[in-house]
């Protein structure tokens, strides 16, 4: 052992003491637990058994975790933030557990009137910001706390800075949002990744009359530590349908007659697997929800539909929605998800909806459900409909399963495109200097130039934005054995050529171009998601 290491070791003055007496001594003289839930450097429940830092600089570390990465990372964070931290004292884990139990009991009984008022104001600010976002149908709210706080809205796919506050407001706001969550980790930890969910049907904690807007079903919360700052909060807003009569309306989302008919065929299969793909924020969950509602209606609700979701995002009337909760680590989440999926198979289902295929184990259980005579639907992160098969193959699914068209029933990929305001959109023929003009003319000739538009300057109809929401463009494949075999054998180009020519398939790019020629989406919006107009679609 080096001299430097010996210098950093401090004798344990609490050795041999009863943990309760030792904890009482540590909390004496108004000494506060800075690593506790209400301290300056809160840690998560899994780290509380490793360390404790007090306001006088006393730093206790579990004697079996002296060189744990979380301990070293915490020391570095405190020093970086200018906190007081002395040489570590190595103690038994039982003392650390007693310290945090004492701190939680004390904090619950000694909340000051000023703190209560401050938290009350933060909760009101939280609701005010969500109301403002919901009026504009914002999909995500981003709160970045650095040397100051920035609040940004993602509106129709684009990020816009809305508000700016000081750093102290941001830290208090993020803590308050965490405390308001209905589902979250037990303790707030500023330097750890945490997740949560706020349900729209319940009031904010301690505020009987403070609710989220009626059109917000729930908010998914993701809390992240960031470099050169303290916290980064992302809130995903999940909205209720504005009309119950349109809850199963797929055309309202943007699906054309062609895709709608393909989806009808996919719903009609009594067995097999149907997968919806796309990147984060592409509307997969909304499409899946509406497909499930429509399927239940078509079957006159004489169908036992069981869903397994982490967590449930939208209500599906008539379905049995099984949530995956009380899991904090990724390993726990995977185990809980697999347990729920296995339980659904034992619950006499006719159809099963799996919120998302994330791991090989969940993929294998999903395939098991499809193989055992059920109609199964799920989502997956993949770049295109053909890429779904490649993604499953890469995850480790047996190739012979992926070549079976009675098992792989339907593949769908989608994106969300900004819709042009019909009042202020501008014809591209009047803007020959537009970057897309030459490529559009090369790809579609004069007809393309005459029929296409670009975003306008904004008007009262679109609140000066030039766009009025978003619309789905998609591609749907009902595969046969020849298509699947080519795809699994690595002949992707041949598979796509066979699909588009022999199976009368239509790519996402072709669907987007049709919407562009109808004046619904802009030329540059098509190129943003589908590549240059004068090139072939690449898979």
**CA dist., res. 357 & res. 483, Å (int):** 23
Whether cis (ω within 30° of 0) applies to the bond prior to 298 is no
| pLDDT number for residue 535 | 82
Residue 6 pLDDT class (50, 70, 90 cuts): very low
* Range in 210-214, 410-414, 442-446, 463-467 the model is least confident about: 210-214
| pLDDT number for residue 100 | 86
* Range in 182-196, 378-392, 439-453 the model is least confident about: 182-196
**CA dist., res. 96 & res. 46, Å (int):** 12
Backbone angles phi, psi at 330, to 5 degrees: -60, -35
pLDDT, mean over the chain = 87
Q: Which residues pair with residue 475 across a beta bridge?
A: 413
Backbone angles phi, psi at 163, to 5 degrees: -140, 155
Burial of 368 (0-12, 13-18, 19+ CB in 10 A): middle
Q: What is the DSSP letter of 460?
A: G
Of 520 and 49, more confident: 520
Burial of 287 (0-12, 13-18, 19+ CB in 10 A): buried
Per-residue pLDDT reduced to its tens digit, 204-227 = 765 566 788 888 888 989 999 888
Sign, Cα dihedral of 350, 183, 156, 507: negative
Please report the domains of the chain, with CATH numbers, ordered by start residue: 3-109 (no CATH), 113-239 (3.30.450.90), 244-415 (3.40.50.300)
For residue 357, the number of C-alpha atoms closer than 13 Å in the C-beta half-sphere is 33
Where residue 207 falls (left for φ over 0; alpha for ψ -120 to 50; beta otherwise) is beta
Backbone angles phi, psi at 493, to 5 degrees: -60, -45
* Range in 115-119, 260-264, 323-327, 476-480 the model is least confident about: 115-119
* Range in 112-116, 383-387, 407-411 the model is least confident about: 112-116
Compute the average pLDDT of residues 259-281. Answer: 94
Q: Are 230 and 146 in contact (CB under 8 A)?
A: yes
Of 86 and 47, more confident: 86
- What percent of the chain is modeled with pLDDT above 70? 91
Per-residue pLDDT reduced to its tens digit, 471-485 = 999 999 999 999 999
Q: Give this prediction's pTM.
A: 0.70
Q: Are 173 and 143 in contact (CB under 8 A)?
A: yes
| pLDDT number for residue 135 | 87
Compute the average pLDDT of residues 26-30. Answer: 89
**CA dist., res. 264 & res. 269, Å (int):** 9
Per-residue pLDDT reduced to its tens digit, 62-99 = 988 888 888 888 888 888 888 999 999 999 888 998 89
Classify strands 305-309 and 320-323 as parallel, antiparallel or unpaired.
parallel
**CA dist., res. 454 & res. 393, Å (int):** 40
CA 147 to chain centre: 26
Is residue 435 predicted with pLDDT exceeding 70? yes
Compute the average pLDDT of residues 342-363. Answer: 90
Q: What is the DSSP letter of 204?
A: P
Sign, Cα dihedral of 291, 293, 299, 305: positive
Cα end-to-end distance, the chain, whole Å: 57
CA 431 to chain centre: 39
Which of 106, 10, 108, 99 minimizes the C-alpha distance to 51?
99
Compute the average pLDDT of residues 389-401. Answer: 95
| pLDDT number for residue 1 | 37
| pLDDT number for residue 70 | 81
Of 287 and 229, more confident: 287
Compute the average pLDDT of residues 149-174. Answer: 89
CA distances from 408 to 271, 286, 384 (A): 10, 22, 15
Backbone angles phi, psi at 180, to 5 degrees: -80, -15
> Which tokens hold the place of 10?
């401090």
Residue 329 pLDDT class (50, 70, 90 cuts): low
For residue 263, the number of C-alpha atoms closer than 13 Å in the C-beta half-sphere is 26
Burial of 378 (0-12, 13-18, 19+ CB in 10 A): buried
**CA dist., res. 237 & res. 404, Å (int):** 38
* Range in 103-112, 228-237, 407-416, 495-504 the model is least confident about: 103-112
Of 56 and 187, more confident: 56
Compute the average pLDDT of residues 417-426. Answer: 96
| pLDDT number for residue 248 | 79
| pLDDT number for residue 15 | 84
Compute the average pLDDT of residues 242-260. Answer: 80
Compute the average pLDDT of residues 380-393. Answer: 95
């Amino acid at each position: 052992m080096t001299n430097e290491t010996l210098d950093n070791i401090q004798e344990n003055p609490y050795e041999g003491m009863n943990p309760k007496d030792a904890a009482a001594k540590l909390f004496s003289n108004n000494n506060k637990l800075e690593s506790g839930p209400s301290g300056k450097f809160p840690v998560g429940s899994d780290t509380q058994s490793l360390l404790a830092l007090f306001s006088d600089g006393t730093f206790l570390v579990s004697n079996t975790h002296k060189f744990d990465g979380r301990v070293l990372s915490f020391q570095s964070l405190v020093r970086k933030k200018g906190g007081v931290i002395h040489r570590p004292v190595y103690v038994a884990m039982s003392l650390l557990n007693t310290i945090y139990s004492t701190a939680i009991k004390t904090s619950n009984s000694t909340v000051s009137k000023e703190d209560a008022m401050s938290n009350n104001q933060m909760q009101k600010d939280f609701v005010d910001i969500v109301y403002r976002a919901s009026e504009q149908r914002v999909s995500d709210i981003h709160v970045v706390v650095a040397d100051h706080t920035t609040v940004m809205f993602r509106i129709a796919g684009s990020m816009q800075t809305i508000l700016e506050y000081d750093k102290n407001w941001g830290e208090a706001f993020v803590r308050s949002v965490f405390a308001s969550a209905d589902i979250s980790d037990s303790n707030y930890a500023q330097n750890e990744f945490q997740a949560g969910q706020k349900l729209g049907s319940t009031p904010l904690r301690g505020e009987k009359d403070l609710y989220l807007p009626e059109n917000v079903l729930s908010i998914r919360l993701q809390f992240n530590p960031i470099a050169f700052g303290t916290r980064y909060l992302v809130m995903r807003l999940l909205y209720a349908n504005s009309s119950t009569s349109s809850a199963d309306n797929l055309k309202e989302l943007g699906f054309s007659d062609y895709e709608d008919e393909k989806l009808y065929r996919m719903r009609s299969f009594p067995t097999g697997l149907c997968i919806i793909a796309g990147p984060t924020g592409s509307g997969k969950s909304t499409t899946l929800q509406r497909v499930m509602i429509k399927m239940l209606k078509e079957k006159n609700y004489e169908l036992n539909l069981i869903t397994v979701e982490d967590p449930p995002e939208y209500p599906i009337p008539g379905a049995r929605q099984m949530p995956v909760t009380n899991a904090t680590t990724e390993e726990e989440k995977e185990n809980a998800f697999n347990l729920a999926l296995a339980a659904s198979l034992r619950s006499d289902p006719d159809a099963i909806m799996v919120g998302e295929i994330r791991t090989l184990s969940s993929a294998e259980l999903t395939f098991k459900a499809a193989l055992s005579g059920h109609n199964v639907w799920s989502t997956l992160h993949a770049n295109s409909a053909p890429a779904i098969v490649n993604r499953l193959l890469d995850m480790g699914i047996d190739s012979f399963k992926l070549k079976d068209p009675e098992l792989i029933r339907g593949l769908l990929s989608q994106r969300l495109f900004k819709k042009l305001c019909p009042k202020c959109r501008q014809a591209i023929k009047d803007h020959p200097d537009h970057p897309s003009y030459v490529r559009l003319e090369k790809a579609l000739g004069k007809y393309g130039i005459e029929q296409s538009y670009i975003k306008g300057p904004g008007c009262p109809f679109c609140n000066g934005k030039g766009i009025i929401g978003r619309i789905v463009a998609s591609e749907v494949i009902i595969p046969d054995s020849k298509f699947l075999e080519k795809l699994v054998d690595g002949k992707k180009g041949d598979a796509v050529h066979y699909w588009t020519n022999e199976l009368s398939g239509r790519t996402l790019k072709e669907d987007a171009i049709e919407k562009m020629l109808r004046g619904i989406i802009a030329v540059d919006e098509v190129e943003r998601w589908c590549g240059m107009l004068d090139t072939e679609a690449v898979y």
